[in-house]
Amino acid sequence: MASPSKAEEDAATIASLIDDIDITMFTTVARDGALVSRPLSTQKAQFDGERIWFFVAADSPKIDEIARNPNVNLAYASQRRNTYVSVSGQARVSDDRAKVVAFWNDALKAYFPGGIDDPNLALVEVEAHTAEYWDAPGTLIGKAIAFATARVTKRKDAMGENRIVDLRGDRKTSRPPPSRKTRSHQARTASKTASTTRAAAGKSATNTSATTKTATKKTATKTAASKQAATKTSAKKATATKTTGRTAAAKAPAKQAGGTSKPRTR
């Protein structure tokens, strides 16, 4: 049998941490987009690594809020154990009668007098997508030992464990949260990439502008040369026309002078 992965171990850890905490702050999205949180007993909530179930009043505002926007967050905290869990996912009202029967106990009659058939009884199912947990020593001695160990070894994880678990699908994943140093590096990388992109775009625009100017200049030069050639051609034609005119004018008198005069009649 294959040993469980770190993600599976973390999912089991989350289940055990939640099981020991009675109250969660159940956060929904209101009609105006505001986040609304209220304490909700997790006494009868069950977590199998994928879903968490709650009994709630069917006429409560959170039922309408879930219908409009199913995104929710569950925040668990145990100051005594120094343990904290945040679960994000999507909620819906379940009509699974078998689950209602399985989770019901008579102590709930204080809220639902009609028992398991109370018309105001609703079962809310939260499908967990991601969860982050912080689990550290809870006693003063444990905290002191953890602090001393972290200071000597320079290891922050000695103060406790902080993991982010993706609970979706069959292949769960687990990772430590990004550190401030990592986030700063990512921000610098993104900024550098943006600067490089802008510089490349500026260089491309400059090259395009220079190419356009060169092409325009060449076109203007060719146009000027064409005009100059046309002017020279016109001048040559004009000169040739003038020369032809003068030659014709010179021949005309010579013809008259050399012509036969008619004899006079007496």
Task: Give me the sign of the Cα torsion angle 112, 21, 175, 178.
Answer: positive
Cα 164 from Cα 182, distance rounded (Å): 16
Helical ranges in the chain per DSSP H: 6-19, 61-68, 97-103, 140-153, 180-257
Instruction: Classify domain 6-177 at the CATH class level.
Output: mainly beta
Q: Consecutive sets of 10 residues in the chain, 266 residues long: mean pLDDT of each?
A: 72 85 93 94 68 92 96 93 94 92 89 94 94 72 40 48 87 81 59 68 63 64 63 60 55 48 46
Domain range list for the chain: 6-177
One-character DSSP codes across 117-143: G-TTEEEEEEEEEEEEEEE---SHHHH
Determine the distance from the C-alpha atom of residue 22 to the mean position of all C-alpha atoms in its chain, rounded to a whole number. Answer: 36
Distance from chain centroid for Cα 10? 27
pTM for the complete prediction? 0.60
Q: Residue 150 has what pLDDT?
A: 41
Q: Is 42 helix (H, G, I), strand (E, B) or coil?
A: coil
Q: And the tokens for 115?
A: 């028992």
Which residues sit opposite 71 in a β-bridge?
90
CA distances from 17 to 13, 42, 131, 166 (A): 6, 12, 12, 17
**Stretch (H or E) spanning 95:** none
* CA atoms 55, 25, 139, 4: torsion sign: positive
Query: Is the alpha carbon torsion for 244, 250, 253, 256 positive or negative?
Result: negative
* Residue 8, token pair as written in the block: 């599976």
